[in-house]
Amino acid sequence: MQALVTGCAGFIGSHLTEALLGDGHAVLGIDCFNNNYGRAQKLRNLAHAQEWESFEFVPVDLSGGDLYELVADSEVVFHLAAEPGVRPSWGPRFEKYLQNNVLATQHLLEAAKGTGSRVVYASSSSIYGEQGEGPAPETALPAPYSPYGVTKLSGEHLCRLYNANHGVPAVILRYFSVYGPRQRPDMAFHAFCRRIFADEPITVFGDGEQARDFTFVHDVVRATLTAGFSGAHVVGETYNIGGGSQATVNQTLELLSELCGRRARVHNEPRQDGDVRTTSADISRAEEALAFAPRTALGDGLRAEVEWFLESLSPATGAPS
């Protein structure tokens, strides 16, 4: 089977691409190398996939051009390409979010009409906004608290209307705070590791007691693969993909300090616009329909990320290469 992976050079997309190749699928990978972080890390992310003869890479901007042939040749489309990040989505960069999260998704779904290709859309816990008490079920009213969350929810709505009107077999997955090896440099754990080893202060916005449902990248990949290859019962459905590892920022800094063998120096700043207090996933629907169960405890996942970070350091400079 051939699968199409958009955002194949990214953090999650590169892991998904390798898993597909390892399972014997041919993979057509798409990435436009947007400038949210360095091209060099994205190229390193693709290094293992490039060793497979069954992998083909095509540099494509999904927001422009005809995508029909790319989609029609693939039985499953894993749509992970996006402009990421809550804090940068305010102000003038919002146009990038509209282009890469909304327009790109609409173009991809338009190309999928009539092909029979299943589209697995990577959404985000950001669509929930400020959560109430307890884990959020998929039936909770979406109330994004950032422009980023608005664009990811827009992508969900596009998937639903193309499914309802044109029969595009779409599945929506809401990822909760994914972490692990290859994490983007702007994401918390990557930035924390970099500053701990450089003995630089870590800026924590707020009091550090904000909690997240952290999900290890390999658990996310397993759920995404299942959504792509399960029976028709998953089509048109939405699933939370959480890690069962809710912890506060302060708790994760304690764990990272232990793993790194160095004390994190913390500097607190006021909470940033768009930051929510708590995220927590009710994964009961994913457990039932996708047989999903997170396998990686937070401590083990953080250890894997620290090990990857150390391996990525340049021997010459001691900085991430």
All domains of the chain, ordered by start, with CATH?
Answer: 2-179+215-244+280-294 (3.40.50.720)
pLDDT (tens place) for every residue of the chain, 321 residues total: 999 999 999 999 999 999 999 999 999 999 988 777 778 889 999 999 999 999 999 999 999 878 999 999 999 999 999 999 999 999 999 999 999 999 999 999 999 999 999 999 999 999 999 987 789 999 999 999 999 999 999 999 999 999 999 999 999 999 999 999 999 999 999 999 999 999 999 999 999 999 999 999 999 999 999 999 999 999 999 999 999 878 999 999 999 999 999 999 999 999 888 889 999 999 999 999 999 999 999 999 999 999 999 998 854 444 555
Predicted pLDDT at 132 = 77
For residue 74, CA distances in Å to 3, 40, 101, 108, 254 come to 5, 28, 21, 12, 44
Predicted pLDDT at 313 = 81
Contact of 147 with 90, CB cutoff 8 Å: yes
Predicted pLDDT at 317 = 40
Q: How far apart are CA 216 and CA 258, in angstroms?
A: 19
- What secondary structure, in 3-state letters, does 99-116 show? HHHHHHHHHHHHHHCCCC
Predicted pLDDT at 131 = 83
Active-site residue, selected from the candidate residues 121, 128, 145, 148: 148
Predicted pLDDT at 320 = 56
0.75 surpassed by pTM? yes
Q: Which residues 6+ apart lie within 8 Å of 211 measured at CB? A: 246, 247, 248, 249, 277, 278, 279, 280
For 211, the token pair is 């909690």
- Give the three-class secondary structure for 298: helix
**Residue 148 bears catalytic tag:** yes
For 74, the token pair is 């693939």
CA dihedral 55, 58, 59, 63 (to 10 degrees): -120
Q: How far apart are CA 11 and CA 95, in angstroms?
A: 22
